[in-house]
A and B are shown apart, each in its own frame.
Chain A
């Protein structure tokens, strides 16, 4: 009996306590998120920085488990108990929330002008008229290489495809290192670190992506098949038994110093910095001829939106404007190297590898992964099929043309581009 009473009392005080806090401090904003890993960064760095500038607004970061986030958020939004600020998944999941009226329109939010159209594309309606989340971070694709290995073998950082394959040949001939650490077992490596990494140089980034969505280009066109042709050429440079090599295997092969080049996403930086005992460098996907415009996949990954039912909409908007500011970008990008701010203002970062990655934004044109916007809404799912076919091409079980044809046939079966 006493325990029950005590529990009830404790529960009561926790609710009343937070309510009381809110009252005393005028406004408390709750952030819904799946990024439990970032809890310390929010608590120790981001929130204090914001609260120092905006007295009267308290912010609480309340993450849930990544796998439960979407379901839990949906339930909370339906019940009206969701937080004021909602961390947005890219593309359709957030778009659906916006269409249901759960996310407020933020097109007019002060600070939104700090973002390029590509950065905003993940959280916009299909016509691009309304934006509903502030872009927070993106990940960039490229290649991370073992600098010690390159120095030892006297290899220059490749800029063109010929140089790239010449470097791979040289590493293979030497035999000390596996030329490239990648496996096809988990499928997504082949698609994400392979096809979506080198592809933008062929299909000319946003131009090709937009044309594909409009239906002006097809996956069977030369520009979309060519990346598969290059992927097929990767096969001899991968380690023994790459067909059963998983993603953690690839990471370990590289950080143990057994492989020379790692087709990467920038999110690896944090882990690689702590695990690799050698110097690392990075280069963007090589272009055909020196001096060609380069394109990189600068994929929007995480954003933040406003719960349309929030009672503290004004305070929340103040917070979102701050999230859109260079201040936030600097703290966030430095705390999480490899997750780059999408802000147009240049952000000063300490990590050299992260600096290298982000410097490509200056000389290359950014795009996002071709399959993410609109094109993966139907059955068969283009993104999943791209995983399977990319692995097939590298394994040599499908020719590039056959793979492209399967993808286009699948897409045609449900996608009718707006004319």
Chain B
């Protein structure tokens, strides 16, 4: 054995020690369960014992019409859920933030708080409150519409196949609009005064100042919000479950990946839970979200221009 000639670099123990708590906690509560889910999706319960079946569960999910029809339906609904958020929640969030950051607005702290409050409410409260508001029997919605002479516009939205999902998406938008508003608001506030002043000197004011100066500066924040919305929407479950139940009626029209996963994994009523198929769906959800995040990170974020001040 040759003696070591090169001087050995000292191992920085303190780095490992300082990293350890975070790594351990993250591994225990995120990485291990994730690995467990992926593993579970490769097995199947045959005669009370787990048997390795390779990708058979995925074949069932995409090949067996009993599963695939429900899966594609859930994915389609989920995409629509996401589109509504992107079209309504984020533009309105930006608009609210722009209004709030206007120095002329009075009581802006009050509005800010009021709009943000629903975000911290529990899903159960939001689902239940909106179910009551929209109830054809005791809800205020039919009365309010009656008040302005538009009673004919009222339908039991949550009970109609063609409206239920959109109605729920809008409820979710109502609940979470505070998040994009706050993030954009913070981004708008961080734009340095000098930039604004320089713009004003050049005669760029008002609306064109927003489009030409502020919006490009907050684009990275909008990107972050989009990706947060994407992840949140494809993981959504609670609102549908509390408002429509696990069967996501009527006729599965509000079934999204989260509720589909819930029924498969835990079962429902007489349906016995199947953890393996549940894990398969969870894996697909993970891949969808991973794919979306990668697209954002590698295709969009790298192209966003950042400005250093």
Contacts and interface: CB of A to CB of B under 8 A. Distances in A.
B136 A245 contact: yes
A395 B250 contact: yes
Contact of A249 (B135, B142, B244, B247): B135
Interface residues of A, number: 39
A414 B270 CA distance: 16
Contacts of B67: 379
Contacts of A246: 131, 135
Contacts of A245: 135-137, 156, 159
Interface in B241-272: 244-245, 247, 249-252, 263, 268-272
Contacts of B247: 187, 384, 387-388
B159 A244 contact: yes
Interface in B201-259: 244-245, 247, 249-252
A185 B159 contact: yes
Contact of B157 (A244, A387, A397): A244
B160 A92 contact: no
Contacts of A410: 66
Mostly, the A contact residues are loop
A398 B156 CA distance: 18
Given A395-B250, A397-B250, A242 B270 contact: no
Contacts of B158: 185, 244
B155 interface: yes
A388 B249 contact: yes
A246 B161 CA distance: 16
A241 B137 contact: yes
Contacts of A397: 161, 250-251
A298 interface: no
B272 A92 contact: yes
Contacts, number: 108
B160 A413 contact: no
B134 A384 contact: no
B185 to A, nearest CB: 36
Interface string B46-65: 00000000000000000001
A395 B253 CA distance: 13
Interface string B167-181: 000000000000000
B251 A391 contact: yes
B251 A379 contact: no
A245 B160 CA distance: 11
Interface in B30-82: 65-67
Interface stretch (A32-40, A56-64, A263-271, A370-378): A370-378
A380 interface: yes
A388 B251 contact: yes
B123 to A, nearest CB: 17
A383 B269 contact: yes
Contacts of B65: 413
B136 A240 contact: yes
B132 to A, nearest CB: 10
Contacts of B160: 243-244
B271 A391 contact: no
A346 B142 CA distance: 50
B139 to A, nearest CB: 9
A381 B250 contact: no
Interface in A162-209: 183-188
Contacts of A91: 270
Interface in B99-139: 131, 134-138
Interface string A233-256: 000000111111110010011000
A158 to B, nearest CB: 26
Contacts of A124: none
Contacts of A395: 159, 161, 250-251
B277 to A, nearest CB: 8
B155 A241 contact: yes
A184 B251 CA distance: 11
B156 A371 contact: no
B54 to A, nearest CB: 20
A160 to B, nearest CB: 31
A376 B249 CA distance: 19
Contacts of B252: 388
A253 B135 CA distance: 13
Contacts of A384: 247, 263, 268-271
Contacts of B138: 249
A392 interface: yes
B77 to A, nearest CB: 15
A377 B142 CA distance: 42
A208 to B, nearest CB: 19
| Among B157, B158, B271: residue with most chain A CB under 10 A | B271
Interface in A376-408: 376-377, 379-384, 387-388, 391-392, 395, 397-398
B254 to A, nearest CB: 11
Contacts of A252: 137
A188 B268 CA distance: 12
A397 B244 CA distance: 18
B299 to A, nearest CB: 38
16 contacts: A92-B272, A183-B159, A186-B245, A240-B136, A241-B137, A244-B134, A245-B159, A249-B137, A376-B270, A379-B66, A384-B271, A387-B247, A387-B249, A392-B250, A397-B161, A413-B65
Given A242-B136, A244-B135, A246-B131, 6 more contacts: A241-B156, A245-B136, A249-B137, A383-B271, A384-B247, A384-B268
Interchain residue pairs A-B with the least CB separation, the first 5:
A241-B136, A243-B159, A244-B156, A244-B159, A241-B156
